[in-house]
Amino acid sequence: MMFDWTGRFDGEEDSYQRIFQRVNTAADYNAVDPNDFVLHGFAVDEGVKRNKGRVGAQKAPDLIRKNMSNFPVFNSRFSLKDFGNIHCDNEDLEKTQIVLAEKVAQVLAKQGKSVVLGGGHEVTFAHYSGIRKAFPNQKIGIINFDAHFDNRQPENDLATSGTGFWQIAQQSEIHSLHIGIQKNSNTKHLFDTADQLGMKYILADEIYSQSIPNLMFTINAFLDEADVVYVTVCMDVFNAAIAPGVSAPAYNGIFADHSFMQIFRHILSQPKTKALDVAEVNPDFDIQERTARLAASLVNEWFMI
């Protein structure tokens, strides 16, 4: 069943409109126009379950939509096409990841911008696979806002929410920058694996106002090397005070303050940025929908550029 986009109605003129008034849920993929934002919900947390995390993220996509629907529209050209949710049947995560990848590839082939609402962070491998299919000969730069590297080797060949970057590295040379990494959330082995795979990272402790010029230099150098940029945000990168509803809460995580927003908006403003997802919102543990609202707000930052 498709989500029913509703919100406060102030008028039909552009200056009055809100996101729910610009959503098309009836279009097919052939109707995607260049620069349309195209939304899929990844209502899946089988990877979180396999990774021994707190399940519940499969319920998040529609809650994020709800918190997104009433945001005002500031870009007169803004158009959002919503193709509904993808679910995981019979615990077959691998098949579900292929389904999302195929849909994302169709969007990008039409020069649309891909937005995916998770769901667990197993969305990363699925989303990336669709981008890779659409841009087979391009260098894809992945910017991952996350407390974790998600570079675990799968056990018994089963993907989880924590294996995405290991899987990507098995397909081709990985080009990734991980922002917000926590030392108390990753073993030394995972740090060593990141180094071996060539995964670049910025620790959470390194994100503060005085460090912004140096961080921007690092980020711009990374962006310059990429042909296409994909941004993925695991909501457990944030402090539990502002994002309590996640699969693996980080009590010393970062805040969505000026320093973070300066970095985040800069990345989203790049013409190379073609895809964005938010993951690990868990409504079962959220408080007053704080985490869902923050996730919706982060997606809306891209809509306002």
Q: How far apart are CA 48 and CA 111, in angstroms?
A: 31
Which ranges in the chain belong to alpha helices (H)? 46-50, 60-68, 93-109, 123-134, 164-171, 188-197, 212-225, 258-268, 290-303
Distance of CA 231 to the CA centre of its chain: 6
What pLDDT digit, counting tens, does each position of 219-276 carry? 999 999 999 999 999 999 999 999 999 998 878 899 999 999 999 999 999 999 999 9
What pLDDT digit, counting tens, does each position of 27-51 carry? 799 999 999 999 999 999 999 999 9
Q: CATH number for the 20-303 domain, one of 1.10.1060.10, 3.40.800.10, 3.40.50.300, 3.90.226.10?
A: 3.40.800.10
Which residue ranges make up each domain of the chain? Answer: 20-303
DSSP 8-state secondary structure symbol assigned to residue 57: G
Binding residue per annotation — 121?
Answer: yes
Binding residue per annotation — 234?
Answer: yes
- Count how many Cα atoms sit within 13 Å of the Cα of residue 99 in the half-sphere of its side chain: 17
Closest listed residue to residue 63, CA positions, set 301, 245, 289: 289
Percent of all residues in the chain with a pLDDT value above 90, rounded to a whole number: 95
What pLDDT digit, counting tens, does each position of 120-132 carry? 999 999 999 999 9
Burial class of residue 116, CB neighbours in 10 A (0-12, 13-18, 19+)? buried
Binding residue per annotation — 148?
Answer: yes
Binding residue per annotation — 14?
Answer: no
CA angle 226, 147, 275 (to 5 degrees): 35
- Cβ neighbours for 275, distance < 8 A, ≥ 6 positions apart: 104, 108, 113, 114, 115, 116, 127, 131, 229, 230, 231
Binding residue per annotation — 227?
Answer: no
